[in-house]
Amino acid sequence: MRISEFQDLIRRTYHERDRDRGLDKNMLWLVEEVGELAEGVRKGDRAGLEEEMADVLAWLSTVASLSGVDLERAALAKYGQGCPRCRAIPCGCPPA
C-alpha cells in the first residue's frame, strides 16, 4: 500500500469524527501515540512497537488530511533524493 492509499483509507474511515474533533485535538492524539511509541521503544516490545507505529502513522495521516497535506507528496519532495542536505544515499553529512 502506498502512503497516499493509507492516508485515503484513514480519511475515508475516520474523517467525519476527526473533522468534528478538530485539528488541535487530533494533534494531541498524535502526540499521545508518539509517547506510547517511545515507551514501546524503551521496553523493546516488538509487538507493541508495530501497533504503536501503525497508530502514529494513522494519526499523522489524520493531521495531514485535516491540514490539506498529501503525506506521500511531502515525503517524496523532502526525502525522494535521499538526504535533504547532501542528497546522498546513504547520508554523507557529518554526524551531529
Query: What's the pLDDT tens digit per position in 6-56?
Result: 999 999 999 999 999 999 999 999 999 999 999 999 999 888 999 999 999
Report CA 87 to chain centroid distance, whole Å. 22
Roughly what angle, to the nearest 10 degrees, separates helices 23-43 and 46-67? 160
For residues 96 and 90, the model is more confident at: 90
pLDDT of residue 47: 86
Question: What domains are defined for the chain?
Answer: 3-79 (1.10.287.1080)
For residues 45 and 90, the model is more confident at: 90
Residue 59: half-sphere exposure toward Cβ, Cα within 13 Å: 22
Confidence tier at 4 by pLDDT (50, 70, 90): very high
Average pLDDT over residues 73-96: 96
Cell of 1: 500500500
pLDDT exceeds cutoff 90 at 96: no
